[in-house]
Amino acid sequence: MSMLRWSLLPLLLAISTGAAQTMTIASRLGYPADAKLLILHGDDLGVAHSVNAASLDALARGAITSASVMMPTPWVTEVAAWAKAHPDADLGLHLTLTSEWETFRWGSVESRDKVPSLLDADGTFPSDVPPVVARARLDEVERELRAQVERALAMGIHPTHLDSHMGTLFANGDLIGVYIKVAHDYHLPFLAVRDLPPGVTGVPLAPNDVVLDNVIIAGPEVPRDRWKQFYLDAIATLKPGLTEIIVHLGHDDAELQAVTVNHEPYGSAWRQRDYDVVTSAEFRQALRDHKVILVRWRDLQKLLAQR
């Protein structure tokens, strides 16, 4: 995964709220208006058994409150089986239009002949975001996103929200528009933060859409020997409002080392570090010390029905 993946977040995920929300999310959920609400979220379920094992364990233990599933990936059936056994689990969809690993590839859920602009010559998604932005037809993007949602429903995964793998759907206003359209049509909340970047206009936000105040994620610039401190500092400086911390969980084993070969950022050791942090007693104590209230996307989903 290139650094572009998360450099997109602060600039291209943002949505202008205008007058859409006159009450804070905390108030709408029944908490004090100045509460510090936090979603602890794991990305990339379905990529590998190692990612599933670490992420589902963290969900079951309450070490994270939410996770999202990549429907084109080879281990998604394992997630579906777990979801059926844990119907209250908070699982969203990590809508996917890229396939970033060097030797471990996937393509569309929709038939290839119906989404040719989304695929490379070998039939897999591009490895990075710019080729998607340059080549993808918007009607084919929408077709593929809907196919991913429908596959999840058919497999017994009832998503609580939508977000975007590698930030692809946040790359410009047209893609954001398709993303929000699909979310609205399936009555799902979606990952978005406040304030539009320059040049992005006309985003179709509905009055009851839930907009986060901040998203925090460890990037390649974080020193590897200060990994836990990065997260402890994030908790210590958390501001009132609704924040999501995104982690990438996995076990540093032979399978995940092979999946993420030649790619240290977001790779096998990286995911083990994230898992070790969120399951640590020190991290849990920090949440208590700073009076952080953990919430789920399922809680936010209920707000969509409020009028």
Q: What is the pLDDT of residues 13-71, one digit of tens each?
A: 555 444 344 578 999 999 999 999 999 999 999 999 999 999 999 999 999 999 999 99
* Mean pLDDT, residues 133-161 taken together: 98
CA distance 16 to 19: 9
Q: What is the pLDDT of residues 224-274, one digit of tens each?
A: 999 999 999 999 999 999 999 999 999 999 999 999 999 999 999 999 999
Beta-carbon contacts of 160 under 8 Å, excluding residues fewer than 6 positions away, are: 66, 90, 91, 92, 188, 189, 296, 297, 298, 300, 301
CA distance 228 to 224: 9
Q: Tell me how many domains the chain contains.
A: 1
Are the beta carbons of 126 and 99 closer than 8 angstroms?
yes
Give the pLDDT of residue 245: 98
Paired tokens of 151: 């596959």
Range of the domain at 263: 4-303
Specify the pTM: 0.92
Phi/psi for 166 (5° steps) reads 60, 15
Residue count (the chain): 307
- Helices 49-61 + 268-278 axis angle, to 10: 10
* CATH number of the domain to which 240 belongs: 3.20.20.370
Q: What is the pLDDT of residues 98-125, one digit of tens each?
A: 999 999 999 999 999 999 999 999 999 9
- Count Cβ atoms within 10 A of the Cβ of residue 54 and give its class: 0-12 exposed, 13-18 middle, 19 or more buried: buried
Token pair 């911390």 in the structure block, residue: 245
* Mean pLDDT, residues 202-222 taken together: 88
